Amino acid sequence: MKETTHYPFYEAQPTVREALGECIPTADGTVRFIKSLFPCLNWLPRYNWRWLVGDSIAGFTVGLVVIPQAMAYALLATLPPDFGLYTSFAGAATYWLFGTSKDIVIGTTAVGSLLVGEVISHVHEAHPNTYSSVEIAKTLSFVTGLILFAIGLLRLGWIVEVIPYIPVSAFITAASIIIMCTQLPVLLGIPGVNTREEPYKVLISTFRKLGDTKLDAAIGITCLVLLELAKFVFAKLEARQPARKRLWSIMSSLRLTFAMLLYTLVSFLVNRHLSADESKFRIVGHIEQGFVHVGPPSFNGSLIGAILPQSPIILIILIVEHIAIAKSFGKKVGYEVAPSQEIMAQGTANILGPFLGGYSCTGSFGASAVLSKAGVRTPLAGLFSAFMLLLALYALTGVFYFIPRAALAGLIIHAVFNLVAPPSTVLKYWRLSPFECMIWVAGVVIAIFTGLETAIYVTTGLSFLLLLIRIARTKGQFLGKVTVQEMDPSQNQESSAQSKGQAAMRELYLDLARNDASNRDIVVETSHGGVLIYHFPEGLNYLNQAQHLKTLTDYVYTHTKRPAEESSADRSEALWCDKPTVYKQDDEVPELRAIVIDCSTIHNIDITSVQGLVDVRNALDRWASPSTIEWHFGGLHNRWARRALAAAGFGRSVAEDYHTIGSWAPVLPLAGEEADGESRKLKTCADDESSIGAQNGDQVAQRESGTGKQTHQPVFAIDRPYFHADLGEAVSAALAHASRSDCRAVFGIGLTLSGVASPQVIKNQFKLSDFHMLATFLTASATSAAIFAAYNARDTNKKIPAKSASSHGWIGAYDGNVIGGAMIGLGISLTGACPGTVLVQATADIGNSRVLAYSCLLAGVVWVKLKPLVTRQQPPSRAGNESVMAVTGWSTGRVVIVYEVAMLSILTAILVYAPRSVTMLHPVVGGLVIGLGQFASVSLAKKPVGVSSVYQDFGGVFWSILNGTLPKAIPDSILFAGGLMMGSWLTTFNVPAIREAMIRSETPSLPITLVGALFLTFGARIAGGCTSGHGISGMASMGLSSFITIISMFGTGMVAGVMLS
């Protein structure tokens, strides 16, 4: 027989010092942080010729694409075309040092350039003729770059997740439409149109001046058609010739460059002998060679003050656009990007760019796509792109002179047209979230008619409002149980039917209101009567706690009843606003027993929420009074949330002094591991009646060491047993509590109806003048033995073990059973009560019965301090001799049959020959009624009955309170005693004849009552149980120690009873 050892685990409280300590960087952490600022150090030492070839080809290719784009986008920013080249050069030259993506190209973008133009226009309106466009653009880039650099350096890249997708998508679509509207007059060569007005006004002005269309229209329209045609043709070629897909993709990317070269050649042939003012159509004109605008940005406070209010919208777009592109290519190619480091690289480009003449830049999707398709290998490809831009600035400025502005407008319209969300995307938004789709439409409309700045703020505000509404107003769910079976869809029907019994079964919890997507034809079962399961769909916080907790209390008031009808005095104290239905009692609804909170969506919890839970707990305690309501939390793993709830009195069922309190029965998952020395031994209470408990194999995982020792450790702390690993465990624990509440009352009813609680019946038994008690006792024990045998045979993982020996190191292994049993017998003969019937008699208020009950409680208080003094080191364990089966070598079935035959023989002899008093129930019927209480306890609470530990546990609670530790909940043994008394009260209330029969009994004097209480309580604790724990349950479990205790108890009691008579 293997020895099983349980090790304790107590949860350590998280502290502020601990939390702050995690924020203090270590030396190694500081070194790692510095290295992370320069990701290039990880791959530069491994750079090789293959990477160099790939990077150079990709870099030169993307450089050809960037040059015309940069010049075109600079015009959107109301800057000269060469500023686009400066900006793209700064991004390409610096990104490789700090970036984490090989596919990103930092440079000018259509939307970013449009926003820069908006800021320039705004500053000009606020400060006319004060600052130049170049000065504003450079200062704006420097300011936004500093902010971006700080965000990246502080590793605040997660802030990008705060920005909703829908406002950004609406913004980009609206910006694209605005860009096309502003470029339309340029495309057609129509002069005199103010492109800085609202888009609809620009369109109206353009249509009004269509008669002023110039030759530019021929250049612009044909350029746009050529670009679209090239895109279409190359896309078809990619689809038809997969082997040459990469070639056609690169050719498609270079269509912008080819188009600009073509129309530049046409312009050169037409305008080579004309000045810029005399040209047949508008051209770019003179571009200065090299970096002629090198210099620091302006640090004028007034200018910075005018820029800062406009910077948030630019920061949002720069960050979101860049990170979205980087993550997109990272997922596509198979590497991870660091958002914070990417923002830092972006900030570096924006800080250094103004010193070369650049303006705000970010990741360009078009250029990045070209770079990726061209076979880039590392971020160093940006240097080759920078070389191409450098070559353009110093060698090709003369060529740029002839570029038609209409062609650049066609290029811009072609580029941004792909950014407009197509109808299929809008339909997808509608299918995903209709409310967000409406926000998207509103954002586009607002941007077109009022402006981009208003649109981004309105849509972002609406998105956050929708989020707050979802968090604050989403209704909670009361859950019910559905048992599901895992089936293999690959099996046919015949094999599926054969394996049905072997398929895994599990419990699933669904919304009782059926407001979910589950099958309506499936019946969702409510849990055990009075156990409510509540789920927070959006977590629990100060925004939604009021609604959730009101829903919870309202449901309790309408779906449960109070333990007893309110008196008129209670109703007179009700508030005037309370609904009458709240006080209406309905026999069809159960009493509230426990509340299970599904915390799977709760990570953190605030003070408002905790206070709300405390208020609800107090309200429901008043509702369920005098019963106690347990609160179980499933899936709450965050230490700070557990600390907050524990500080409010949740999570615990006993006082801090676990070993002193004694018995409680939490549902705890255990994980097995081997023993590791004497330091991990757990001191247990061997005399605790709850040691006769079910071993739950479903929740125990164990390993066996070579020494044959099994060790278990709880996964979560034993001092917070009402914080459970998951919802299923929490429900099991709550159901066990509710079941124990039922079986407590059933046992109390059985004990009262059988008549054995009468002092006269008990005394006469020990005087050998009335054998009613013994007949009832033997019947209950025999019935319990049959129940235990059936229970153990039904489930081999959950067995009821034999009662262990109670030794205190005085004489031998069973000294506590012998001495304690004798003391119990002497106490019974003196008082006419055993530890269990003391409570029944006190409920009926017979003679000195309540004095006896109070004396037993006082003795329990004394025993808690006395036990360590009288208990010595235990002798060597007699493992293997704790059960009758181990002693005799017989099987369990054989021992049970022999025991049943023996009990039947003795019972027959008593019924035929022994004298018995006339009571309401025949002793056999009374024993069967007590057996019914045993059946309820085993089937519902998974443990046999036992009462006497209540006095020790009361003493533990008493000393804990005296030491300043307030118990968080009531020990299980005290709850059992309360249920027993409740059942007894219900019986005597409804059957007055039982109490009248008890009152006629002769009760002992006060001195004898006090002495008898000491013998009863000390004896039960020394023996590790009383007549219920040893006699009914212990003997039924075939515990050798129980037979010894009962023989000692009845032998001593009968001798004392005869002598006293």
What is the 8-class DSSP label of residue 281?
A: S
CA atoms within 13 A on the CB side of 899: 30
Q: What is the pLDDT of residue 164?
A: 87
Alpha carbon distances (Å) from 944 to 634, 715, 781, 947: 27, 26, 12, 10
Alpha helices in 38-164 (DSSP H): 40-43, 49-76, 82-98, 110-126, 133-153
- What CA–CA distance (Å, rounded) separates 847 from 586? 37
User: Which residue, 374, 362, 357, is CA-closest to 92?
Assistant: 362
What is the 8-class DSSP label of residue 939?
A: I
Q: Which pair of structure tokens corresponds to residue 918?
A: 């006339």
Q: Which pair of structure tokens corresponds to residue 257?
A: 């460059």
User: Which residue, 711, 728, 783, 730, is CA-closest to 932?
Assistant: 783
- DSSP states along 674-710: ----GGG-----TT-GGGS----GGGEE-EE-TTSEE
On whether the CB atoms of residues 509 and 480 are closer than 8 A, the answer is yes
Q: What is the pLDDT of residue 5?
A: 47
On whether the CB atoms of residues 100 and 295 are closer than 8 A, the answer is no
Q: Which pair of structure tokens corresponds to residue 299?
A: 């640090």
Cis peptide before 626 (omega within 30 of 0): yes
Domain ranges of the chain: 48-468, 743-1060
3-state DSSP assignment of residue 425 = helix
- Residue 524's identity, in one-letter code, is V
- DSSP states along 346-409: HHHHHHHHHHHT----EE-HHHHHHHHHTT--STTHHHHHHHHHHHHHHHSHHHHTT-BHHHHH
CA angle 544, 547, 548 (to 5 degrees): 80
On whether the CB atoms of residues 77 and 83 are closer than 8 A, the answer is yes
Q: What is the pLDDT of residue 945?
A: 75
State the helix-helix crossing angle for 82-98 and 49-76, rounded to 10 degrees: 140
- What CA–CA distance (Å, rounded) separates 370 from 364? 10
What lies within 8 Å, CB to CB, of 365 at 6+ separation is: 109, 321, 325
User: Which residue, 724, 698, 747, 732, is CA-closest to 594?
Assistant: 732
Residue with tokens 């004097």: 1005
Torsion sign over Cα 308, 309, 314, 315? positive
Based on DSSP, count helices (H) and strands (E) in the chain, helices before strands. Answer: 43, 13
- What CA–CA distance (Å, rounded) separates 69 from 64? 9
790-799 own/partner pairs: CB under 8 Å, 24+ apart: 791/938, 791/939, 792/892, 796/697, 797/695, 797/696, 797/697, 797/698, 798/694, 798/695, 798/696, 798/697, 798/698, 798/942, 799/694, 799/695
- Residue 878's identity, in one-letter code, is R
- What CA–CA distance (Å, rounded) separates 812 from 819? 11
The kind and range of the H/E element at 510 are strand 505-511
- What CA–CA distance (Å, rounded) separates 70 from 20? 48
- What CA–CA distance (Å, rounded) separates 724 from 599? 10
The kind and range of the H/E element at 713 are strand 709-714
Q: What is the pLDDT of residue 1043?
A: 87
- DSSP states along 461-502: HHHHHHHHHHHHHPPPEEEEEEEEE---TTS-HHHHHHTGGG
Q: What is the pLDDT of residue 119?
A: 93
First-to-last alpha carbon distance for the chain, in angstroms, is: 48
Q: What is the largest CA-CA distance in the chain?
A: 142
- Residue 177's identity, in one-letter code, is I
Alpha carbon distances (Å) from 104 to 338, 370, 377, 391, 961: 13, 10, 12, 21, 67
844 beta partners: none
What lies within 8 Å, CB to CB, of 637 at 6+ separation is: none
User: Which residue, 164, 121, 74, 145, is CA-closest to 451?
Assistant: 121
Residue with tokens 């640090």: 299
pLDDT beneath 70: ranges in the chain? 1-10, 487-504, 527-529, 563-588, 626, 652-713, 717-718, 737-745, 795-798, 809, 872-881, 918-920, 940-942, 966-970, 972, 1000-1001
Q: Using only C-alpha atoms, what is the Rg of the chain? A: 42
- What CA–CA distance (Å, rounded) separates 1036 from 786? 8
Spell out the SS3 assignment of 836-849: HHHHHHHHHCCCCH
- What CA–CA distance (Å, rounded) separates 831 from 1014? 11
Residue with tokens 């924020």: 23
State the helix-helix crossing angle for 727-753 and 972-990, rounded to 10 degrees: 40
On whether the CB atoms of residues 726 and 663 are closer than 8 A, the answer is no
The kind and range of the H/E element at 630 are strand 630-634
On whether the CB atoms of residues 911 and 992 are closer than 8 A, the answer is no
